[in-house]
Structure 1
Amino acid sequence: MIQQRFIELGEGYSDIYELLELMSTNSHRIYKSYIFSSGDGPAERLSFAVSFSPARADSHYMPIYICREGITYSADKPSKRYNLFVEHAEAMNASPIRVEVKHSSQFAEKDLFYQYIIGILRLNHLLPPLQ
C-alpha cells in the first residue's frame, strides 16, 4: 500500500525556494503539483505543494511537500511567489492543479487538515488510490 504523507516546509515565504529546489533535483519523480486555495477573511490564502513518486520501485512512501497558507492571492495583482511557483512547475512539465479547500484553522489538528486534503486529491484522481 502506498503511504501518502504531507511534509510541511513552512508558510511559503523563503521556504518556497526549498520547494523549488526539491522540484529541480527530483524532477524525474514529480507526480503532480498543486495550488490549494482557501478563503480566510477577505483574502484568499494559497498553499503550494508537490507530490513525488516513491523513490524506489519497492518503496511505498509518496511524499507531498507543502508550503502552507502563507501567500495571499489577489487576482488583480498575483504575488511574485505565485508566479515563481507556476513558472517553475510548468518548466518541470507539472503545471499546478488548483484545488479549493477549507482553511486549516477549521480543523482541530493539522493532521486532520492533511487527511482532508489527501481525501480530496484521491477522490479527484489527483493521487493514486490506496492499493
Structure 2
Amino acid sequence: MPLTLEHRCDHDLAVVVLAGEIDVATSAGLREDLARLVASGARHLILDLGAVAFIDSSGLSVLLSFHHHLRGRHGSIVLAAVNQRIREVLRVTQLTRVFPIYGTADVAVQAHHATRTGPDTAPAPPRDRDRDRDVN
C-alpha cells in the first residue's frame, strides 16, 4: 500500500497527515519529504498517524532519526491520532517514552502553541500508562 503525505505549515510548525503503510518500500520517500519540510524551516513536526495501517522498523528509524535531528536544533516531533495497532508497536519498542502522543493533531497544535505562550495556558501533557511504568 502506498504512503500519502499532506502537510500544512505555520511558521516553524508543520502538521503532516500520513495515510497508508510506513515500511521499507515507503520510508525513503517519507525521509525525503520530511527533510524537505525541515529544510524549508519547519523545526516542529506533528505527525498525524490516524490513517497509517502499518509501520515497520525502517519507518520507526525515520521517526527516530528526525527526533534526534530536530531535538539537536531545539525542535520537536510529536505523534497524533495513533491507532491501537501502531500504538502497540510503539509500546513494545518503548518509543512511547520518546514520542509524545496526542489524541488529535488539533490538540497537539494547541499544546505546541500553549507551550510557546507560557506554562499557565498549556494543556496537560499526554499521559501514556506505559510511559509512567518502569519496564525491567
TM-score band, normalised by shorter chain = 0.3 to 0.5
Q: Which has the higher strand share?
A: 1
Tell me: higher relative CO, structure 1 or 2? Use CA pairs within 8 A at least 6 residues apart: 1
TM-score of the aligned structures, taking structure 1 as reference length = 0.37
Q: Which has the higher helix share?
A: 2
